[in-house]
């Protein structure tokens, strides 16, 4: 009496990997595969650049460091840049995955909830108000950027939780979009009253810049990103359930308010750290999760670690293109990610219709 | 009959001559008399006006004007991005100095039948030509010619001082995120900074780049390995660093300039305004690059 | 007396007071083990809210819900989920999960925090799919299925929770007649063969009459009547609930009560 009913549906199954094979196996294979790609990219990228260098000479310890241009290019110019790219790419991609699941919207990005606008405003205020200060080894711009991001996060959280301690995702989304518009308006105003050189600097910051020229800011951002990752580790199973529905997740044992808070704060933390280090580099947080889902399916227990790894490789590769393709001119890395992201989405759209 | 024809021809000739002579008088439609109420949106030209004695004719300046000290008392009417048209008109000016790119503003002012002077940004030659044009437009032709001559003489003097000396490869930095090596803006092979550097006896390490400003990556800086790093800052930006600003370069120790401690920081807004003080700026560069030549 | 709601009250938006809606007022319901209970009533009567309270998805403002003597509030979320499962009216996952992945989500309350499902869990999922006649769809994308197939998969994923009670919110509301029959038969089979206690909120009086042995009639957040279907489902009750004049009688061929609406009361 219970009959199959494929006649009325699209008979051909979508091409996908067999989900019945052990998830443990798939998770291990994914981490191994993407991990290798990420590692290979990070190892090879510092070897490539506009100036040909010899690796043996760079690693030759007998030459004093201040006489070894190859070593300085490798260790001071390229390596921090590649590591920053890996950290930022990984953080943004992971934050993207988490927010897309929490907001139940595959088009959400790490910047949807206003965190990056807060970071941009913080940086801009410092640039414009002539806050060319240094506190210890760090410039005030990343710190102000972090403060701005934290403030934006707090505002959005407060708005979304006013109706009870469970977060309303629709209010969250609205709050984020509103904050984005509001902060953009303020940013425009700040740029308007700034002098011309500062406006250019501010505009340049928004395009993203991984050329950090040293390890200080990288080391400062590391604890934030690691903390975010520790929080991320608790999420993947809950993300699967949340993305089916809030009530459905609750009925299956997920502590929904807690999971939402965890998702929101961990994604905001990762995004804040990434943006204050390198500016708001767009498209990584949405292209990477989509690409990864095309490759490994939609189970977040696999998508999240895969995106963290692939995000690192992706941004390092984009930065490599940015600094070599039009040599000696360098394209801002945010432009490269946009030029890859745009056509990619067009293709996705065409493929779906 | 012949006499009448002659008078007519003469009359026509005089009228024609009037129109023909009228045309090339610097980018402005004029009435022939020197302006008495000048509004200047361009700091470089404000300096020129005061240097050639047209200071008393200036009634308002831009928001970024700092020099000479007399401008502090004058009303400010905006600048490149935000000129306050209402305020400008309220001052009843008879000559307004605008940026070449402010075409909308120019059209507005022309519709109000006001004379404008359009500023062209360029190298030293352009700057000197502009001084002459400003002199012509404001009735201070003689003073402007004198100023140009004296500036040329000072520049030649600098050339002579450094002649024959080895020319170091110089990285001329005019902007950088304080305390870091990020967002470095250096002079390319075009523009007045580049030209002043070359007169002062240095070779621009980015002379091959056909732009006024370059944003080099750390890798590019290491590859170009300048002998001297000359950091130029307008005095308006106060940098309160805990340590010496030049310490930021320490990480790039393979650069000869860093190794040999030839990183110089020169402060002053005269360094970044292509105006009458460019000879002073060139001299400052030469002092930094060839201190022995001035002992 | 197995799953009991004791004088529960619930108000939506109570905290902010803006658009606060008192959905349930002092409602008491008692569900027997192995029974098939229907929650009936007009729109807005509170049956969905009651269902959510019984499932532990919402917490009552006052009163308690207890399972087998233990209040749900004292049990952890996971523990509750191991014993009670919900089949919502519609399920729209944001991502393109496969049918098997959807079914496996029901195993979540049985797994530890970082535990991944093992062969036993996969076997349970396959078994549930078989029970709902959807095992041949295991590798298919959930979103590509028909309405009836989707609903059966959702029921399967509720079954993988291995619950003692299955709570269903209008399970056939978006299905056509054929699928309604299909799902109805499936539910009855599960109730009888697996002794699964069922609580179903529904609009469809005939469906309720065909499946439920017990009915709870609700209106305006209160219980009007509850008891055996044959005793409680009368035209007088229908009149009271819906302001509708209806003919209620046992249908010879169907073998259960049927409700045929005749006209609206003015």
Q: Are A229 and A312 in contact (CB under 8 A)?
A: no
pLDDT at A7: 36
pLDDT at A11: 44
Name the band, by pLDDT with cuts 50, 70 and 90, for residue A227: very high
Of B182, B223, B243, the CB nearest to A213: B182
Q: Which residues contact residue B40 at a Cβ distance below 8 angstroms, ignoring those fewer than 6 apart? A: B46, B49, B58, B60, B61, B62, B65, B96, B97
Total domains present in chain C: 1
Residues paired with residue C261 on neighbouring β-strands, in sequence order: C246
pLDDT at B9: 56
Give the span between the Cα atoms of A153 and A147, in whole angstroms.
10
Between residues A7 and C216, the one the model is more confident about: C216
Q: What is the ipTM of this complex?
A: 0.90
Name the band, by pLDDT with cuts 50, 70 and 90, for residue A131: low
pLDDT at B234: 79
Q: In chain C, what percentage of residues exceed pLDDT 90?
A: 68
B164-294: in CATH 3.10.180.10: no
Average pLDDT (A110-137) is 79
φ/ψ region of B225 (left if φ > 0, alpha if ψ in -120 to 50, else beta) reads left
Q: Is the pLDDT of residue B25 over 50?
A: no
Name the band, by pLDDT with cuts 50, 70 and 90, for residue A19: low
Would you say the C-alpha torsion C148, C149, C153, C159 has a positive or negative sign?
Answer: positive
Q: What angle do CA C113, C117, C119 make, to 5 degrees?
A: 150
pLDDT at B24: 44
Size of interface A-C (CB pairs under 8 A): 132
Give the span between the Cα atoms of C165 and A76, in whole angstroms.
64
Any chain C CB within 8 A of the CB of A23? yes
Residues paired with residue C85 on neighbouring β-strands, in sequence order: C166
Evaluate whether B25-151 and B164-294 have a shared fold: yes
pLDDT at B228: 96
Domains of chain A as residue ranges with CATH: 23-352 (1.10.3470.10)
Burial class (CB in 10 A: 0-12, 13-18, 19+), A257: middle
Give the span between the Cα atoms of B144 and B151, in whole angstroms.
10
CATH number reported for the structural domain that contains residue C232 in this entry: 3.40.50.300
Q: Is the pLDDT of residue A13 over 50?
A: no
Q: Are C98 and C142 in contact (CB under 8 A)?
A: yes
Q: Are A86 and A38 in contact (CB under 8 A)?
A: yes
Q: Are A289 and A97 in contact (CB under 8 A)?
A: yes
Q: Are C60 and C45 in contact (CB under 8 A)?
A: no
Q: How far is B146 from chain A (nearest CA, A)?
A: 33
- pTM across the whole model: 0.86
Give the span between the Cα atoms of A99 and A110, in whole angstroms.
7
Hey, how many other C-beta atoms are within 10 angstroms of the C-beta on A61?
8
Q: Are A166 and A250 in contact (CB under 8 A)?
A: no
Q: How far is C121 from chain A (nearest CA, A)?
A: 11
pLDDT tens string C103-154: 999 999 999 888 999 999 999 999 999 989 899 999 999 999 998 899 999 9
Subunits touching A (CB < 8 Å, at least 3 pairs)?
A: B, C
Q: Are C150 and C70 in contact (CB under 8 A)?
A: no
A328: preceding bond cis by omega (within 30 degrees): yes
For chain B, give every domain's residue range. 25-151, 164-294
Best mutation target among B83, B206, B242, B254 (most A Cβ atoms within 10 Å) is B254
**Residues in C touching A244 (Cβ below 8 Å):** 91, 93-94, 97, 102, 105
Q: Which of A248, A299, A317 is nearest to A81 (CA)?
A: A317
Any chain A CB within 8 A of the CB of B101? no
CATH fold of B25-151, please? Answer: Rossmann fold (3.40.50)
Average pLDDT of every residue of chain A: 87
Q: Which residues contact residue C155 at a Cβ distance below 8 angstroms, ignoring those fewer than 6 apart? A: C87, C132, C166, C168, C171, C183, C186, C187, C190
Average pLDDT (C203-229) is 92
pLDDT at A3: 34
- Tokens in use for C81? 């989920």
pLDDT tens string A272-315: 999 999 999 999 999 999 999 999 999 999 999 999 999 999 99
Q: How far is A147 from chain C (nearest CA, A)?
A: 30
Return the DSSP state at C115.
P
Between residues B182 and B145, the one the model is more confident about: B145
Of A65, A77, A139, the CB nearest to B219: A77
pLDDT at C266: 65
Give the span between the Cα atoms of C220 and C236, in whole angstroms.
17
Q: How far is B229 from chain A (nearest CA, A)?
A: 16
Alpha helices (H) along A194-330:
196-206, 216-232, 236-242, 246-251, 256-278, 284-296, 300-324
Q: In chain C, what percentage of residues exceed pLDDT 70?
A: 98
Parallel, antiparallel or unpaired: strands B58-60 and B116-119: unpaired
Q: Which of C51, C30, C163, C178 is nearest to C107 (CA)?
A: C163
pLDDT tens string B100-134: 889 889 998 989 899 999 998 889 999 999 999 99
pLDDT tens string B210-226: 889 898 999 999 999 99
pLDDT at A260: 93
Contact across the interface for A139 and B254, Cβ inside 8 Å: no
pLDDT at A188: 86
Beta strands in chain C (DSSP E): 3-12, 21-31, 36-40, 62-67, 70-71, 84-87, 165-169, 197-202, 214-219, 222-228, 244-250, 257-264
Average pLDDT (C92-97) is 95
Give the span between the Cα atoms of C84 and C198, in whole angstroms.
10
pLDDT at A137: 55
Task: Provide the chain A residues 146-175 that lie in CB contact (below 8 A) with chain C.
Answer: 162-164
Q: Are B173 and B294 in contact (CB under 8 A)?
A: no
**Residues in A touching C52 (Cβ below 8 Å):** 247
State the first-to-last Cα distance of chain C, in angstroms, to the nearest integer: 40
Q: How far is B220 from chain A (nearest CA, A)?
A: 8
pLDDT tens string A36-48: 999 999 999 999 9
Alpha helices (H) along C165-234:
177-193, 205-211, 229-232
Beta strands in chain A (DSSP E): 134-135, 138-139
- Tokens in use for A247? 């009530």
Best mutation target among A45, A208, A211 (most B Cβ atoms within 10 Å) is A211
Q: Which residues contact residue A157 at a Cβ distance below 8 angstroms, ignoring those fewer than 6 apart? A: A167, A264, A265
Average pLDDT (C4-22) is 80
Q: Are A280 and A115 in contact (CB under 8 A)?
A: no
Q: Are A135 and A143 in contact (CB under 8 A)?
A: yes
pLDDT at A138: 63
Q: Which residues contact residue B54 at a Cβ distance below 8 angstroms, ignoring those fewer than 6 apart? A: B38, B134, B138, B139, B140
φ/ψ region of B261 (left if φ > 0, alpha if ψ in -120 to 50, else beta) reads left
């Amino acid at each position: 009496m219970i009959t199959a009913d494929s006649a009325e549906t699209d008979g051909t199954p979508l091409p996908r990997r067999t989900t019945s094979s052990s998830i443990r196996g798939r998770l291990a294979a994914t981490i191994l595969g993407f991990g290798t790609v990420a590692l290979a990219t990070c190892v090879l990228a510092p070897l490539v650049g506009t100036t040909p260098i010899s690796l043996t000479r760079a690693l030759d310890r007998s030459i004093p460091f201040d006489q070894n241009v190859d070593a300085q290019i490798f260790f001071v110019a390229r390596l921090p840049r590649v590591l920053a790219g890996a950290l930022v790419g990984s953080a943004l991609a992971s934050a993207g995955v988490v927010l897309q699941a929490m907001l139940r919207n595959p088009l959400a990005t790490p910047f949807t909830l206003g965190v990056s606008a807060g970071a941009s405003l913080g940086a801009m205020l410092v640039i414009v108000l002539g806050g060319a200060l240094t506190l210890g080894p760090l410039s005030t711009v990343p710190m102000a950027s972090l403060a701005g991001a934290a403030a934006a996060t707090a505002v959005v959280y407060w708005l979304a939780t006013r109706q009870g301690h469970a977060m309303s995702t629709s209010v969250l989304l609205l709050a984020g979009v509103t904050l984005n518009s509001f902060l953009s308006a303020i940013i425009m105003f700040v740029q308007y009253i700034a002098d011309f050189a500062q406006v250019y600097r501010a505009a340049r910051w928004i395009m993203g810049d991984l050329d950090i020229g040293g390890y200080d800011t990288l080391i400062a951002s590391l604890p934030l990103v690691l903390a975010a990752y520790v929080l991320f580790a608790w999420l993947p199973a809950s993300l699967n359930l949340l993305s089916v529905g809030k009530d459905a997740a609750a009925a299956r044992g997920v502590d929904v308010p807690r999971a939402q808070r965890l998702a929101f704060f961990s994604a905001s933390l990762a995004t804040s750290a990434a943006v204050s280090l390198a500016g708001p580099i767009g498209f990584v947080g949405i292209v990477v999760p989509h690409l990864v889902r095309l490759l490994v399916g939609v189970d977040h227990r696999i998508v999240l670690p895969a995106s963290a790894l692939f995000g690192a490789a992706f941004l390092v590769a984009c930065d490599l293109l940015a600094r070599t393709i039009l040599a000696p001119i360098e394209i801002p890395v945010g432009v490269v990610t946009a030029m890859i992201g745009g056509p990619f989405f067009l293709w996705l759209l065409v493929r779906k219709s | 009959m012949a006499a009448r024809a002659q008078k007519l021809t003469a009359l026509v000739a005089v009228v024609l001559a009037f129109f023909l002579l009228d045309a090339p008088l610097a980018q402005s439609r004029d009435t022939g008399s020197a302006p008495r109420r000048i509004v200047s949106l361009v700091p470089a030209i404000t300096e020129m006006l005061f240097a050639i004695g047209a200071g008393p004719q200036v009634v308002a300046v831009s928001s970024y004007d700092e020099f000479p000290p007399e401008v502090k008392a004058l009303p400010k009417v905006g600048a490149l991005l935000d000129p306050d048209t209402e305020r400008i008109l309220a001052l009843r000016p008879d000559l307004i100095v605008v940026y070449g790119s402010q075409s909308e503003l120019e059209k507005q002012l022309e519709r109000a039948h006001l004379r404008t002077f359009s500023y062209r940004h360029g190298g030293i030659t352009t700057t000197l030509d502009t001084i002459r044009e400003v002199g012509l437009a404001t009735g201070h032709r003689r003073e402007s010619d004198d100023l140009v001559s004296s500036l040329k003489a000072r520049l030649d003097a600098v050339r002579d001082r450094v002649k024959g000396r080895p020319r170091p490869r110089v990285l001329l930095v005019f902007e950088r995120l304080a305390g870091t090596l990020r967002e470095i803006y250096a002079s390319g092979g075009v523009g007045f900074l580049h030209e002043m550097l070359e007169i002062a006896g240095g070779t621009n390490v980015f002379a091959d780049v056909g732009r006024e400003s370059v944003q080099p990556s750390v890798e590019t800086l290491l590859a170009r390995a300048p002998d001297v790093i000359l950091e130029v800052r307008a005095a308006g930006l106060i940098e309160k660093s805990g340590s010496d600003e030049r310490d930021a370069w320490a990480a790039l120790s393979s650069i000869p300039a860093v190794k040999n401690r030839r990183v110089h920081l020169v402060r002053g807004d005269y360094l970044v305004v292509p105006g009458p003080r460019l000879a002073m700026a060139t001299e400052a560069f030469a002092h930094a690059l060839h201190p022995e030549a001035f002992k | 007396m197995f799953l009991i709601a004791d004088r529960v009250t619930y108000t939506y938006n109570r905290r902010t007071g803006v658009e606060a809606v008192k959905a349930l007022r002092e409602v008491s319901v008692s569900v027997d083990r192995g029974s098939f209970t229907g929650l009936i009533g007009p729109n807005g009567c509170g049956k969905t809210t009651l269902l959510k309270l019984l499932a532990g998805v919402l917490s009552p403002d006052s009163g308690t819900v207890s399972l087998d003597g233990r209040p749900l509030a004292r049990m952890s979320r996971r523990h509750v989920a191991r014993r009670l499962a919900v089949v919502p009216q519609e399920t729209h996952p944001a991502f393109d999960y496969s049918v098997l992945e959807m079914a496996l989500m029901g195993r979540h309350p049985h797994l530890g925090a970082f535990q991944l499902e093992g062969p036993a869990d996969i076997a349970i999922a396959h078994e549930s799919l078989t029970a709902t006649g959807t095992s041949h769809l295991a590798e298919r994308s959930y979103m590509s299925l028909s309405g009836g197939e989707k609903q059966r998969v959702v029921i399967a994923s509720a079954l993988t929770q291995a619950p003692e009670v299955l709570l269903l919110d209008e399970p056939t509301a978006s299905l056509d007649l054929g699928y309604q029959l299909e799902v109805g038969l499936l539910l009855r089979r599960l109730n009888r063969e697996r002794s699964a206690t069922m609580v179903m909120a529904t609009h469809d009086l005939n469906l309720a009459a065909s499946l439920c042995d017990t009915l709870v009639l609700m209106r305006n957040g209160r219980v009007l009547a509850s008891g055996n279907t044959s005793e409680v489902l009368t035209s007088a009750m229908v009149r009271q609930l819906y302001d509708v004049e209806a003919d209620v009688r046992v249908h010879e061929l169907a073998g259960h009560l049927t409700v045929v609406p005749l006209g609206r009361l003015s």
